[in-house]
Structure 1
Amino acid sequence: MPSEWYASTESIMNNTLSTSLNKSASSQTIRLPDFSGSHLAKRYASERRFRILGIASVGVAGIILLILLSSIVSKGYSAFWLHKVELNITFSAEVLNPDGSTLEEVKLKQANYLALIHNALKEKFPAAVGNRRKIRMLYGMIAPKADLVLRDMVLSNPSLIGTTKKVLLKLSDDWDSLSKGFINRDLPESDRRIKDLEINWHDQLQSEGHIHSVFNADFFTTGDSRNPEEAGIYSSLIGSILTLTVTLLISFPLGVMSAIYLEEFAPNNRFIDFIEININNLAAVPSVVFGVLGLAVFLNFFGLPRSAPLVGGLVLALMTLPTIIIAARSALKAVSPSIREAALSLGASPLQVVTHHVLPMAMPGILSGTIIGMAQALGETAPLLMIGMVAFIVDIPRTFTDPATVMSVQVYIWSDSPERAFVERTSAGIMVLLGFLVLMNAAAILLRKRFEFRW
């Protein structure tokens, strides 16, 4: 009896479930994903459009960068050579030693070497003699400091006195621009800095083979000058090296130690959150604000020397610190937690875990972030203008407290000069600056590869 009752009950339940499923299936239609060919074609077309847009974006950015670099190179490559004129210089004893007394080094230093150049020019173009306007144009052919070349020659070899020798002397900036083809000869004479008579003299010298194009080594070995043909980047290059040295010595250890504390040892409270927020905010503060801070604190309060690499390095270190801290924290966070757990399980202290295991593995990322921050500091101008590093510096800085300028500020100074020859030196300075930035980024890549750990 019970078995028959269980059988009848199970049959009734099955019929009821079947009826309910049929009603549910009839009232609701189950929609499966459309895997037909048209749907897949739309998806693939959308992916292709997205890929094309990405490639186009990279291409547009590359074209803009290529146009920028082409513009800089086309204007600046000519600064790496200059033109000199070959003159027959007579080292006349009457000019160098008019009183006929014993030759002394002091007298030789004070002799009138400029007269030797003027005599050679008048001998080459005798038609200009007697006309003050023509003589003034003739003397303007030679660079202002060309007489120093003759002085050094006589001081090193006094036996030149009384002889005649062919000497290469720098052309002035206008004559150099004419030799490079930057002077438009088709313009009216009143609209040109170079007059028709000077062009005739130039063409005569060039046809006789007396004008020579040489590598402009002085651009890399001399300091700044009011005369574009004498201006170089050596003083600003040394100033940049000294400034970045101070920046690195301050920002790297402080940034790495701050990142280690915040990432590995700092408690989780509101004060630490406040510090982290401010570090992130400082990374977005305009650089000129750091210049105002350096002017108020380092110069006015502490009385440090103005326009010195020491002050510039301190200002750039404050600006670079947030970048280094953020990059170092990201590198520390990227280290696998299993490294920390394994070291702790073997009895290492938290400090040993960080110094012996975590920090070496995070060092590639830390060094990359540091070099990127230093590259950013190398190109900064606004904060250094606020502390006086925009001054006209001719002498080469030797110490961290000597007056100096940096390459970015030097480019800014040259760009504000009206002479045509400073245009090419501005672009040439940018090319050298970009070269240093490329080298620093290449160093970051090499350091990452060198110290990279694989696990």
Structure 2
Amino acid sequence: MTDAAPSRAVQRRSELERRLKLRRARETRFMWYGRTAIFVALAFLAVLLGRIGLQGYTTFVDYRMTAEVYIDPARVDAADPTGANYDLLVAQAILKKVGERDDEFGRASGLMMQLVSNDMGFKLLEQVRDNPGLIGQTLKVEGPVRADAALYFKGEIQRSTPPDSRKLNDRQLDWLDKLEAQGAVSSGFNTHFFTRSDSTEPEQAGVLGALVGSLLMLLVTATLAVPIGVLAAVYLEEFAPKNRWTDLIEVNINNLAAVPSIVYGLLGLAVFINWLAVPRSSPLVGGLVLALMALPTVIIATRAALKAVPPSIREAALAMGASRTQTVFHHVLPLAMPGVMTGAILSLAHALGETAPLLMIGMVSFVPGVPAALTDAATVLPVQVFIWENASERAFHERTAAAIIVLLVFMIVMNLAAILVRRRFERRW
């Protein structure tokens, strides 16, 4: 009997050690699973951001050309200065600079016009139209090179590529090399990408119109979704009786948060455009649609923030003689405001990245200007990305990546704002 008891104790101890070793091994494997998952997620994020950055950073480098153009009185009529071909004047002036002469068919001028943006000709037109006295003088004009010429300077079009596989021939590449050697072509930061709106010419396209459209749309969304969502959440959480109807409302709010966004686009098309006649493709209708989409998220986030306030706050306020309304709006809601603001900002950031509902209400149209009012035609950053990615010109693809970078920076700023608001006002109980 004395030998059996120690034997069982030894067996029990060895069994416990074996189980403890297995448990530690499982915990170690679980930790490595988590680290591997984080590493894979970060690797995919790095690949995504790296791909976007490598494709889009060249957009922020702008190549511009300077030319001195003689406004020939024989070709520009002072009575009607708009009738002259200023693009041809610019092309011929640059041909002269590289030591080339045009033939009777104008073939060389046609090739040069493929390298020079028509923005230079438009600037000449504006100067002569505003001051006809400039006719007969030599004017200095500056403008961007064509998109294909810029791609050559950026190294995306190689001379070693077979001529039938690139848009620019050897003669045009020789002209670009001569112009760069003469200092007629300069490079710098592409500020025009942020100061111009969409264009059919890639070198003239910018994101200003999309940025303004996004801001106006978010203004409408925030004005409607945040106060309505917060007040609805306050009523449901603090004042509404707990019965079958409120339970049904809560279930429907949770279901609406999971509805595909394109359904809200169809709703906006049917209600706001076809029934209420809100202007199509405007920040107003876009903001209304996104406000409907953001409402469930704002309500859910606000209710969660209200639930996080300790019941003792309510009891203390009521014990001091405060009414139910005073308790909620003077004590509970201010303490829940960090969570409320965080939920509101995150819902707006999510709305900013939506594309599908906006496509349904016509915001996919080409809009070359900057919207000046809520009812003007406009586009937004996600839709601008969609439009440029579907364009056939190669230079639009790098602008697609650049617009994605701008959109990501916009959303990162909004998320950082949510984090700062929470940390600034958060209280721990």
Tell me if both proteins adopt one fold, taking TM over 0.5 as the criterion: yes
Q: Distance in 1 between matches of 2:46 and 2:382?
A: 21
- Aligned pair partner of 2:44 in 56, 64, 67: 64
1:302–1:33 distance in 2 versus 1, CA, 3 Å: farther
- Is 1:254 matched up with 2:234? no
C-alpha contact (below 8 Å) 1:95/1:116 kept by paired residues:
no
1:270–1:98 distance in 2 versus 1, CA, 3 Å: closer
Equivalent pairs: percent with the same residue? 48
The one-character-per-residue Cα deviations of 1:373-421 (angstroms, maximum 9, x if unpaired) are: 0001000011011111111111211111111111111110001001010
407-416 or 172-181: bigger deviation: 172-181
**Secondary structure of the corresponding residue to residue 401 of structure 1:** coil
**Secondary structure of the corresponding residue to residue 146 of structure 1:** helix
Match of 1:211 in 2: 185
- Is 1:329 matched up with 2:303? yes
Q: What is the correspondence of 1:208-287 to structure 2 with a 5 Å cutoff?
A: 208-287=182-261
TM-score (norm 2): 0.92
1:42 Cα shift? Answer: 2.9
- Is 1:429 matched up with 2:409? no
- Aligned pair partner of 2:338 in 364, 376, 384: 364
Match of 1:199 in 2: 173
Match of 1:188 in 2: 162
Match of 2:29 in 1: 49
Compute the RMSD of aligned alpha carbons.
Answer: 2.3
- Aligned pair partner of 1:117 in 86, 90, 103: 90
C-alpha contact (below 8 Å) 1:128/1:138 kept by paired residues:
no
Q: Distance in 2 between matches of 1:81 and 1:152?
A: 26
Q: Distance in 2 between matches of 1:167 and 1:122?
A: 15
Q: Distance in 1 between matches of 2:428 and 2:259?
A: 36
The one-character-per-residue Cα deviations of 1:94-136 (angstroms, maximum 9, x if unpaired) are: 444557xxxxxxx556665334313303423434433543331
**Secondary structure of the corresponding residue to residue 443 of structure 1:** helix
Q: Distance in 2 between matches of 1:360 and 1:157?
A: 62
1:69–1:389 distance in 2 versus 1, CA, 3 Å: same
C-alpha contact (below 8 Å) 2:91/2:109 kept by paired residues:
no
Aligned amino acid, residue 179 of structure 1: F
Q: Distance in 2 between matches of 1:110 and 1:179?
A: 33
**Secondary structure of the corresponding residue to residue 126 of structure 1:** coil
Aligned amino acid, residue 72 of structure 1: I
- Is 1:419 matched up with 2:393? yes
1:198–1:34 distance in 2 versus 1, CA, 3 Å: same
TM-score (norm 1): 0.87
Aligned amino acid, residue 433 of structure 1: L
- Is 1:395 matched up with 2:369? yes
1:156 Cα shift? Answer: 7.4
Q: Distance in 2 between matches of 1:74 and 1:338?
A: 55
1:447 Cα shift? Answer: 1.2
Match of 2:65 in 1: 85
C-alpha contact (below 8 Å) 2:123/2:141 kept by paired residues:
no
C-alpha contact (below 8 Å) 2:78/2:135 kept by paired residues:
no
Q: Distance in 2 between matches of 1:428 and 1:450?
A: 33
1:418–1:56 distance in 2 versus 1, CA, 3 Å: same
1:160 Cα shift? Answer: 5.5
Q: What is the correspondence of 1:95-114 to structure 2 with a 5 Å cutoff?
A: 95-97=75-77, 112-114=85-87
* Gaps in structure 1 of 5+ consecutive residues: 1-25, 100-106
1:152 Cα shift? Answer: 4.4
Q: Distance in 1 between matches of 2:228 and 2:427?
A: 24
1:147 Cα shift? Answer: 1.2
**Secondary structure of the corresponding residue to residue 405 of structure 1:** coil
- Is 1:342 matched up with 2:316? yes
Match of 1:290 in 2: 264
1:165 Cα shift? Answer: 5.1
1:184 Cα shift? Answer: 3.1
79-88 or 261-270: bigger deviation: 79-88
163-172 or 182-191: bigger deviation: 163-172
Larger Rg: 1 or 2?
1
**Secondary structure of the corresponding residue to residue 65 of structure 2:** strand
Aligned amino acid, residue 86 of structure 2: Y
Q: Distance in 2 between matches of 1:65 and 1:157?
A: 55
C-alpha contact (below 8 Å) 1:121/1:139 kept by paired residues:
no
Q: Distance in 1 between matches of 2:354 and 2:274?
A: 22
**Secondary structure of the corresponding residue to residue 378 of structure 2:** coil
- Is 1:73 matched up with 2:73? no
The one-character-per-residue Cα deviations of 1:190-235 (angstroms, maximum 9, x if unpaired) are: 2211112111212222233322112222111111111111111111
C-alpha contact (below 8 Å) 2:216/2:283 kept by paired residues:
yes
**Secondary structure of the corresponding residue to residue 213 of structure 1:** strand
Q: Distance in 1 between matches of 2:263 and 2:269?
A: 10
